[in-house]
Every structure is written in structure tokens, then in C-alpha cells.
């Protein structure tokens, strides 16, 4: 039986059409029977609820022991924003946040970072949507390291797909830990989604495809 908080988040994603079942090509080129698209959150109530889920995970993981949160463009931008708001409102943890532009601005204040300006010694956490192949993390870490001498020990995502990365036998999340020393924390994992579908008892066809996919691509 899946935990109540994980069940609540999965049903929240499904109600927002963020978690979908069918046939989808992921960033890694794999044909997946499920897909998570946080770009489908589109109402104030949805992002308010989403921020609460992320904020709870951040609080339970590292409390207030960090200096700022970073949301990689583009999907990480609203995620970091709503997480910062929920942390302050729900838990009394008021921390700055910042994000990057895809292209550096050459007028006004210039630069590629918007919001908080990191300084040497800062402890930064990253707020993202999902990790499939780890590509986004490899693009994000250099941006932070070029901004200041910061440390990044924790990253928070909606779903850990638990899929093998570039190294046989290791997931992208494991590779991120090995390469950058970053612990990735997910609100739910693909195992949680699978367990939820089993509990429902009405997703036989989807379950068969998910189990085949997990057997081929997932590492637990």
C-alpha cells in the first residue's frame, strides 16, 4: 500500500494532466509508457499546491541549512518560485531564490542570472522537475560554479524515474551523486507510481507496459 502523501501527490499530478500514460519519447530517446510534464501546471491553485509539496520535502531534508535555491530555465523557474513562497508561508523558512536566462542579457543589469546573486561559500539547492538522463544537471552545475564558489549538495525533483544513465548499472541520479556530489530527493519515484497503479486495480494494460519498461531501463 502506497504512503498517503505519495498517493496524494500522484493523484494531484494526474488531476493536472502532468502525469500521463500512453507512448512518449523522453529526452533520452526512450519510448516511455508514462510521462511527467510539469509545464502542464497552469492555474494558481495548482502551483500553490505544488509549492507545498516541494517545500515539505525541502524542510524535511535540509530544514533551513542552505542559503538560496536555484531553478534552472525554463521549468525550474516557476518551481523554485513557488517553493520559496511555500517555504516562507508554511514553514517560516524565508530564503532567496534565483534562476538563469537561456541567453545572457546584454543591457540593463546584464548577465544570465536573475534574482539572488550567489556569493562565495553559499550553499545552493536546486529545484527541478524530473531527471531522466541527467542532461539538465550537467548544464546547471557549471552555471552555478561560474557565478561563485558555491556548494551544491541537494537537488529536489517531482519524480525520480530511476532510469539508467550513461553508465551501465547506474541511474542518472546515481551519476549525479558520483559526478557532482549532489543528493537528489524526489517527492515520488517510478516505483511509487507503479505501486499506486497496482493499488487501483484498473490499470492492467499500463502496468504491463510499465513493468516491461522498468525491467529494461530502471535500476533500483
**Number of domains making up the chain:** 1
- The whole-angstrom separation of Cα 148 and Cα 144 is 7
Is 107 known to be catalytic?
yes
- The whole-angstrom separation of Cα 81 and Cα 85 is 6
Q: Which pLDDT value is given to residue 23?
A: 92
Task: Tally the C-alpha atoms within 13 A of residue 170's C-alpha that lie toward its C-beta.
Answer: 11
Active-site residue, from 107, 170, 177, 191: 107
Q: Which pLDDT value is given to residue 159?
A: 95
Residue 154 phi/psi, 5-degree rounding, is: -135, 140
Q: Which pLDDT value is given to residue 135?
A: 75
Is 91 known to be catalytic?
no
Q: Which pLDDT value is given to residue 26?
A: 83
CB-based contacts of 84, cutoff 8 Å, min separation 6: 69, 95, 96, 97
- The whole-angstrom separation of Cα 173 and Cα 86 is 25
- The whole-angstrom separation of Cα 144 and Cα 72 is 10
pTM above 0.85, yes or no: yes
Q: Which pLDDT value is given to residue 104?
A: 58
Q: Which pLDDT value is given to residue 111?
A: 64
Q: Which pLDDT value is given to residue 166?
A: 86
Q: Which pLDDT value is given to residue 109?
A: 52
- The whole-angstrom separation of Cα 182 and Cα 141 is 10
Cβ-in-10-Å burial (0-12, 13-18, 19+) of 184 comes to: buried
Q: Which pLDDT value is given to residue 83?
A: 98
Q: What is the DSSP letter of 3?
A: -
Active-site residue, from 52, 59, 105, 191: 105
- The whole-angstrom separation of Cα 88 and Cα 59 is 11
Q: Which pLDDT value is given to residue 63?
A: 97
Give me the CATH number covering residue 152: 3.40.50.2020
Q: Which pLDDT value is given to residue 106?
A: 56
pLDDT < 70 stretches in the chain: 103-111, 132-133
- Structural domain including 11 reads 4-217
Amino acid at each position: 500500500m502506497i504512503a498517503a502523501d505519495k498517493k496524494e501527490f500522484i493523484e494531484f499530478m494526474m488531476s493536472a494532466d502532468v502525469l500521463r500514460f500512453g507512448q512518449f519519447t523522453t529526452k533520452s530517446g526512450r519510448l516511455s509508457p508514462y510521462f511527467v510534464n510539469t509545464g502542464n501546471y497552469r492555474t494558481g491553485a495548482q502551483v500553490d499546491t505544488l509549492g507545498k509539496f516541494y517545500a515539505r520535502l525541502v524542510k524535511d531534508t535540509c530544514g533551513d541549512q542552505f542559503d538560496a535555491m536555484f531553478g534552472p530555465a525554463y521549468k525550474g523557474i516557476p518551481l523554485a518560485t513557488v517553493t520559496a513562497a511555500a517555504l516562507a508561508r508554511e514553514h517560516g523558512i524565508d530564503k532567496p531564490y534565483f534562476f538563469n536566462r537561456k541567453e545572457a542579457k546584454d543591457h540593463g543589469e546584464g548577465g544570465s542570472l536573475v534574482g539572488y546573486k550567489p556569493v562565495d561559500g553559499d550553499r545552493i539547492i536546486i529545484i527541478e522537475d524530473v531527471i531522466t538522463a541527467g542532461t539538465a544537471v550537467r548544464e546547471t552545475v557549471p552555471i552555478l560554479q561560474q557565478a561563485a564558489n558555491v556548494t551544491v549538495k541537494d537537488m529536489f525533483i517531482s519524480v525520480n524515474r530511476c532510469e539508467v544513465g550513461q553508465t551501465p548499472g547506474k541511474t542518472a541520479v546515481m551519476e549525479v551523486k558520483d559526478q557532482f556530489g549532489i543528493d537528489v530527493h524526489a517527492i515520488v519515484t517510478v516505483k511509487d507510481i507503479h505501486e499506486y497503479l497496482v493499488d487501483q486495480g484498473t490499470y492492467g494494460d499500463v502496468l504491463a507496459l510499465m513493468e516491461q519498461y522498468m525491467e529494461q531501463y530502471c535500476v533500483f
